[in-house]
Structures are given as C-alpha cells and as structure tokens.
Structure 1
C-alpha cells in the first residue's frame, strides 16, 4: 500500500497536479508491482519562502542518507 506525499513550491494548477499524480502512480505500480487501487498520493503546496524551514531542514536534511534521490541543491 504505497502512499506518496509530494511537497512542491506552490503555483501549479489542478490539471498539472492531476498529471503528476497519474505519472507517479504509474511509476509506483511498475516499480512496486502493485495495483492502482493500492496507491494513494497527496500533494502539499509550500510557499517558496518557507521551503527551507518547512521542508528542507526538517525533512530532507535529516534523512539525506535514506534518500534514493537526493536534491541537487543546498539552501543557504
């Protein structure tokens, strides 16, 4: 039962979010070998000014050794 939470800087429309969810769902189904009904996806909009304090420092930085895809940036 994969559940994916995607945090992105705000500004994308509903159609774009739906497309992202569809593409991620397909990738999860293929990679995990599960049915579509097993996948759930949430998308959280984060203001750009809050990214470092709300996402990078509390979530990305402490988990850097567990990330299978690391970001190609480091906030100042």
Structure 2
C-alpha cells in the first residue's frame, strides 16, 4: 500500500493540476512496484520556503540521507 507524501514550496496548483500530478505519480508507482491503483495514496504538502530547513531538511532529509534512493543536489 504505497503512500507518497510530497513536500514542496507552494505552487498554487488548481484541483485539475493536482489530480494530474497524482495520476502521473500513481502510474509510475503502479509500473515500478506492481501496485494496484486503488492501493496508492498521494499527499501534497506545501511548505513555505522560509520553513523548509526546519520542517523538511532538518527532520526528514538530513537525518535519513543514507536511506534516500535519490539524494538532493543541494545542502543546507
């Protein structure tokens, strides 16, 4: 049951754009993990740029750098 939690700077996407993003992500997960579409959930959490380091980098990226299957091309 894959759950994808996307964190990004605010993008001002409308509902149609969010649905398209979720559909594209679900398609990739279905293909690579052999999951059923009905078992996939996707969340989009917008984080202000000023809060990125404290909310995302310090809590989720930096402490788990060795576990990431794609590492960011930046550091803080």
TM-score (norm 1): 0.91
**Over residues 3-60 of structure 1, what are the superposed CA-to-partner deviations in whole Å (9 max), with x where a residue is unaligned?**
1100011123123322221111100000110110010001101001101111011100
Q: How many residues align?
A: 75
> How much has 1:65 moved relative to structure 2?
0.3
> How much has 1:74 moved relative to structure 2?
0.7
Give unmatched runs, 5+ long, in structure 1. Answer: none
- In the alignment, the residues of structure 1 paired with residue 27 and residue 36 of structure 2 have an alpha-carbon distance, to the nearest angstrom, of 9
Give unmatched runs, 5+ long, in structure 2. Answer: none
Query: What pairs up with 1:1-76 in 2 under 5 angstroms?
Result: 1-14=1-14, 15-75=16-76
- In the alignment, the residues of structure 2 paired with residue 33 and residue 43 of structure 1 have an alpha-carbon distance, to the nearest angstrom, of 22
- In the alignment, the residues of structure 2 paired with residue 44 and residue 26 of structure 1 have an alpha-carbon distance, to the nearest angstrom, of 20
